[in-house]
Chain A
Amino acid sequence: MTQQNRISGGQIDRSRTLRFTFDGVAYAGHPGDTLASALLANGVRLMGRSFKYHRPRGPLSAGSEEPNALVELRAGARQEPNTRATVAELFDGLEARSQNRWPSLAFDALAINDRLNTFFTAGFYYKTFMWPASFWEKVYEPIIRRAAGLGSLSRQEDPDSYDKGFLHCDLIVIGAGPAGLMAALAAGRAGARVILADEDFRPGGRLNAETLTVGGKPGAEWAAEAAAELSAMPNVRIMLRTTVIGAFDHGIYGAVERVSDHLPVPPEGKPRQTLWRIYARRALLAGGATERPIAFENNDRPGIMLAGAMRTYANRYAVRVGESCAIFTNNDDGLRTATDLQAKGVDVVAVIDARSEGALLPGIRHLKGADVIDADGRLGLRSITIRHAGGRTETVPVTALGVSGGWNPNVNIASHHRARPVWNEGIQAFVPGEGGPPGLSAAGAAAGVMSTHGALTSGQQAAMAALGDLGIRASAGTVPDAEDAPVSITPKWYVNSGKGRAWIDPQNDVTVKDIKLAHKENFTSVEHMKRYTTLGMATDQGKTGNVLGLAIMAGLTGQTIPETGTTVYRPPYTPVAMGALAGRSRGKEFKPFRLTPSHKWAEEQGAVFVEVGMWLRTQWLPKPGETHWRQSVDREVLATRKSVGICDVTTLGKIDIQGTDAGAFLDRVYCNTFSTLAVGRCRYGLMLREDGMVFDDGTTARMGENEYVMTTTTANAVTVFRHLEYCRQVLWPEMDVQLISTTEAWAQFSVAGPNARRLLQKVVDQDISDAAFPYMAAGSITIGGLRARLFRISFSGELAYEIAVPTRYGDALIRRLVEEGREFDAVVYGTEALGVMRVEKGHVAGNELNGQSTALNMGLGKMVSKKKDSIGMVLSQREGMNDPDGYRLVGVKPVDPTATLTAGSHFLEIGAAPVIANDGGWLTSKVHSPHLGCDIALGYLKAGDQKIGRRMRAVNLLAGTETEVEIVSPHFFDPEGERLRG
């Protein structure tokens, strides 16, 4: 197809032709085009369908405020829904499809909704679809859901990568139009660190869309030169294709840079987009203004667009929207479009000027005091109907109509701290109000300064003022000459012409009628109006329509526009890809991995790993021939109990606690006593929260007079450390205690089983006989002269030790232990076997340490010393936590040894109905004990200590199963503890 609507001039590179397709049809455009400008150049006005009525639509704008021309860009896994054709840079091979239509854009079955529009008024769905009740999910909603939505996701993983970054500056200038460029120049020349960001791929803002001159040269040329000077400054960073999405607290701005969206695919290694977190000492909003339409009957026809956009297409993109066009305006800026188009040789049939006063344009049919009252041409504008000042109506054939109702300063970012913009009567629009983000000011059109010269001047002044705050002196350079026309506008929101529909929010199909209905039903508060009619809730967030809506509501209620007020402006300024907000934290990189010292060895053995927080731990190590995990785990457990087993326990938190008050400090943070612990000994400690619930547990060893090593659970390593710092800095600041984590400094292995000592004795240099190194002994030893630590503690109930070496030697140590362990048939066991043995021994772990349990619940009530003050001691004495019939930790065995238990099953008395009144508690942890040859479990049972020996049922209603069980002591294995002392 030829570019029949391409006209002369423009900022496109005619030396290169780009091929692209829209709905499968091939077209051509040039570098510098957007998808929308290229389609218009090819005579394509119809680009989308509206949300509710599926009305045929063309672009309303030439920028990021676009509500109509939304397409699915790209194909396959890169399919990108709801992309605004007006900002999508054209590239060779671009593929786009229209959306929200079936079977085709030109013929859309759901356009039937438009015929039925009288039924589908604002909020009609709140009043019907209620009978019968079950029909909502079954019938009505599925139909509505299928019809709803705009574009679609590919349902495949996004193949592109996204990045994040952090930038710091003295001044961030948001928008590279005349005000922004002038501000950046002033700040840059003063040596300040400046970031100049603009969502466009070309600096200059409106200057690229106008024929105006700045400093005697075409505005676009001046802008290019200013940008060139700025890019030459080392202290200035120009960021194009970069949208500042929001102003957050204390000068933090979010910005999305579209690094590769203008390319077919991102270059190797490059992200598609980058989310920048910008720390700015000062900020200047120079984001310009957005034109608004005037509502009239059928004002949504393809070919009807904002007058400024029509000018942009002509001046910047060298495109005429139609062969013959007209302009409908209530302000002088609209007239500028007429003269520019005419100068470009476009046939301007008429200028319909809602204002009766003012001069007439020379050489153009300029109708004063006239309105456009209707437009015809379903798939593309064919004619408009004009109502002349006298009331006479006339239908004029045109294929394009530019509408200007005035310009709204882009106050969004200045309002992101919930500041309410204030009404400016002179320009009939809202400008930034008080209470915006501290350190942010506005300049140019964003501040309501609408002339080019005003923008240049205010940009420079605002930059100087901002730098002044920072003590940076900037000198006022000369402001180049430019037009300085005052704003001439007579408010006009909609044309009242009887019954037809006049669109305010074209995407959501909100019309003047809907506003009137909302008023009739007393949804008159601006928030109620928005929520009831969905005005401003479309992908453009009402950038063009909101002010119309509230102005019309103001007219209905008799309130002024400022009294009516605006809804809240929220980030992001324009929609942001989820991928950009996530950055690199996806898939396996969602969170970093933490690998244990034995990881490499375990990998070689074909170990199965399990995520424990960010750690990967060995879950079990299958041997050849083992087809089910239970075989491996049973073997690991039995071999350990029979001879000796080795397990990497490095992940347990280790905290080095030193200082002359270290012992007293431990007495405060543990509910039991540690100051009395002898050097060279360790003790099990129980840590409570201040509310008396159990926080964490572990063994702590006294390595010297003023030196302790605490171990925490893997899960709580970080929170316990934080808590200890809190206690020492905030609660007891005079205590002489120093803390440092050594979790990763030491590789630590548990060596457990009857032959544990014999194995270790082969490895360590010192005598570790029971006499020399008794139960609960702890101390420094050596392995071949290498410093190491040995703790005689047991989690399994076996004779057991934990041995630690500096982490770099951990790999060698496990290999050594395995090697030396051959004669004992030593096994290495994983977290599953660890769990089996701790349950057999009745030790509490994660499932019991659930933050909802007291020491009493765990059968450890006696550990809470009342003789000293410790965190949680007092509140653990509250009556509700000392109910004699409260939960107690018990052991559970199936009466039939072949029966299975399930953790999470609840206790019920024999014959009791499965209702909450009969709920006895639940099974916290379940394992299969190869030692006992049956499933066993721990559980919290009401008055459990009084029910030992009782038979009950363990019921799992989720699976419809239940098992008769015997309540037993939680210490299934060697309750007297002879083995671990052996």
Chain B
Amino acid sequence: MAEPLHALTALGHAAPKSLAIGPVAISERFDVALASLAIRNGRDGDVAAAAGKAGLPLPDPARFQAGTPFSAFWVAPGMWFVEAAFETHEDIEAALKPIFAGAASITEQTDAWVRFDLGAPDLQPLFERLSNVDFARSPDGFATRTVIEHIGCYLIRHGKGAVTLYGPRSSAASLLHALEVTARSLL
């Protein structure tokens, strides 16, 4: 059997990138596996039951819910993105499919996205320059799709100082550039 292939981050490095601009810390996350989970028609009950058994949260619309080993956030009616540790769940699709046994459509999404975790005492000044989300009035655990400098992203607000962004992997560099430039303009 051939040698395993080595992985590269969305920014094109062997290791994820972290940087701090004034109070804003931006760190690329490379260790999270992601899959979409969509309920098959009429299988809501089965999916809820299976999820409950597996300890997999299925949060309400526009919400993120943490759990172990699975966390999840809502992306569309009847559809969630499920997170798990990459180390243990690299093939997250294979891990989820047996749980739902045909009641849900499962698709690997891990590498469709670049993930940045942002930290600062208050991220409001940053996000009011990046996105039309009403960040100040959003509750913790708020998860939404939003546009940042023409780039469609998922924004999860863990707290006023902690945000997870998922952006299209191919635009990782452009997205980071937008975050950096804006963070610098606040110095």
A–B: direct contact at CB < 8 Å: yes
Using known A-B contacts A594-B170, A600-B8, A615-B170, determine if residue A784 contacts B3 with beta carbons closer than 8 Å.
yes
Using known A-B contacts A743-B112, A745-B110, determine if residue A812 contacts B187 with beta carbons closer than 8 Å.
no
Interface residues in A733-790 (C-beta closer than 8 Å to B): 734-736, 738, 740-747, 762-765, 783-787
Interface residues in A280-321 (C-beta closer than 8 Å to B): none
Interface residues in B1-34 (C-beta closer than 8 Å to A): 1-10, 12, 30
Interface residues in B40-82 (C-beta closer than 8 Å to A): 40-42, 79
List the one stretch of A163-171, A473-481, A528-536, A922-930 in contact with chain B.
A163-171
Cβ–Cβ < 8 Å partners of B137 in chain A: 168
Min distance, Cβ A536 to any Cβ of chain B, angstroms:
34
A interface secondary structure, majority:
mixed
Q: How far is the CA of A244 from the CA of B134 in the complex (A)?
A: 20
Cβ–Cβ < 8 Å partners of A585 in chain B: 149-150
Cβ–Cβ < 8 Å partners of A805 in chain B: 5
Q: How many residues of B contact A (CB 8 A)?
A: 56
Residue pair B5, A269 in contact (C-beta under 8 Å): no
- In the complex formed, the residue of B with least CB distance to A656 is B107
Min distance, Cβ A587 to any Cβ of chain B, angstroms:
12
Chain A, residues 127-171, CB within 8 Å of chain B (1/0): the string is: 000000000000000000000000000000000000111111000
Interface residues in A255-297 (C-beta closer than 8 Å to B): 269-271, 274, 277, 279
A: contact size bracket = 35 or more
Q: How far is the CA of A762 from the CA of B1 in the complex (A)?
A: 9
Q: How far is the CA of A643 from the CA of B42 in the complex (A)?
A: 52
- In the complex formed, the residue of A with least CB distance to B43 is A736
Does A351 count as interface, using CB distance less than 8 angstroms? Answer: no
Q: How far is the CA of A806 from the CA of B105 in the complex (A)?
A: 19
For A659, give its contact among B41, B133, B178 (CB under 8 Å): B41
Residue pair B38, A738 in contact (C-beta under 8 Å): yes
Residue pair B2, A279 in contact (C-beta under 8 Å): no
Cβ–Cβ < 8 Å partners of B2 in chain A: 762-765, 783-784, 816
Q: How far is the CA of A594 from the CA of B168 in the complex (A)?
A: 9
Q: How far is the CA of A809 from the CA of B168 in the complex (A)?
A: 16
Residue pair A812, B41 in contact (C-beta under 8 Å): no
- In the complex formed, the residue of A with least CB distance to B86 is A808
Residue pair A808, B185 in contact (C-beta under 8 Å): no
- In the complex formed, the residue of B with least CB distance to A592 is B174
Does B140 count as interface, using CB distance less than 8 angstroms? Answer: no
Residue pair A809, B5 in contact (C-beta under 8 Å): yes
Cβ–Cβ < 8 Å partners of A592 in chain B: 149-151, 171, 174-175
Cβ–Cβ < 8 Å partners of B160 in chain A: none
Q: How many A-B residue pairs have CB under 8 A?
A: 157
Residue pair B129, A163 in contact (C-beta under 8 Å): yes
For B171, give its contact among A277, A594, A736 (CB under 8 Å): A594
- In the complex formed, the residue of A with least CB distance to B8 is A811
Cβ–Cβ < 8 Å partners of A734 in chain B: 41
Cβ–Cβ < 8 Å partners of A784 in chain B: 1-5
For B177, give its contact among A589, A738, A816 (CB under 8 Å): A589
Min distance, Cβ B183 to any Cβ of chain A, angstroms:
9
Does B113 count as interface, using CB distance less than 8 angstroms? Answer: yes
Does A365 count as interface, using CB distance less than 8 angstroms? Answer: no
Chain A, residues 7-46, CB within 8 Å of chain B (1/0): the string is: 0000000000000000000000000000000000000000
Does A202 count as interface, using CB distance less than 8 angstroms? Answer: no
For B181, give its contact among A584, A658, A660 (CB under 8 Å): A584
Residue pair B4, A584 in contact (C-beta under 8 Å): no
Residue pair B109, A165 in contact (C-beta under 8 Å): no
Q: How far is the CA of A813 from the CA of B113 in the complex (A)?
A: 19
Does A853 count as interface, using CB distance less than 8 angstroms? Answer: no
Interface centre among B9, B91, B181, by most chain A C-beta atoms within 10 angstroms, is: B181
Q: How far is the CA of A407 from the CA of B110 in the complex (A)?
A: 64
For B105, give its contact among A595, A738, A742, A811 (CB under 8 Å): A738
Chain B, residues 118-136, CB within 8 Å of chain A (1/0): the string is: 0000000000110111101
Min distance, Cβ B15 to any Cβ of chain A, angstroms:
12
Residue pair B38, A812 in contact (C-beta under 8 Å): no
Does A951 count as interface, using CB distance less than 8 angstroms? Answer: no
Does A599 count as interface, using CB distance less than 8 angstroms? Answer: yes
- In the complex formed, the residue of B with least CB distance to A661 is B41
Interface residues in B145-187 (C-beta closer than 8 Å to A): 149-151, 168-175, 177-178, 181-182, 184-185, 187
Does A213 count as interface, using CB distance less than 8 angstroms? Answer: no
- In the complex formed, the residue of A with least CB distance to B21 is A269
Cβ–Cβ < 8 Å partners of A591 in chain B: 150
Using known A-B contacts A585-B150, A806-B108, determine if residue A738 contacts B40 with beta carbons closer than 8 Å.
yes
Residue pair B79, A746 in contact (C-beta under 8 Å): no
Residue pair A736, B41 in contact (C-beta under 8 Å): yes
Residue pair B7, A808 in contact (C-beta under 8 Å): yes
Q: How far is the CA of A747 from the CA of B132 in the complex (A)?
A: 32
- In the complex formed, the residue of B with least CB distance to A787 is B91
Q: How far is the CA of A277 from the CA of B128 in the complex (A)?
A: 10
Using known A-B contacts A592-B149, A599-B12, A784-B1, determine if residue A279 contacts B134 with beta carbons closer than 8 Å.
yes
Does A807 count as interface, using CB distance less than 8 angstroms? Answer: yes
28 contacts between A and B (CB under 8 A): A165-B128, A269-B185, A269-B187, A277-B132, A279-B134, A585-B149, A592-B149, A592-B151, A592-B175, A594-B170, A600-B12, A660-B41, A740-B79, A744-B112, A744-B169, A745-B110, A745-B112, A746-B111, A763-B2, A765-B2, A783-B2, A784-B5, A785-B4, A807-B10, A807-B169, A808-B9, A808-B111, A812-B7
Interface of A toward B, CB cutoff 8 Å: 163-168, 269-271, 274, 277, 279, 584-585, 589, 591-596, 599-600, 614-615, 656, 658-661, 706-707, 734-736, 738, 740-747, 762-765, 783-787, 805-813, 816
Q: 8 closest Cβ contacts across the A-B interface? A: A658-B105, A807-B111, A592-B174, A736-B41, A812-B5, A738-B38, A745-B112, A594-B170
> With contacts A589-B174, A806-B108 known, what are 11 further pairs, Cβ within 8 A?
A166-B131, A166-B133, A168-B134, A269-B185, A592-B151, A593-B171, A595-B173, A738-B105, A745-B107, A808-B111, A812-B8
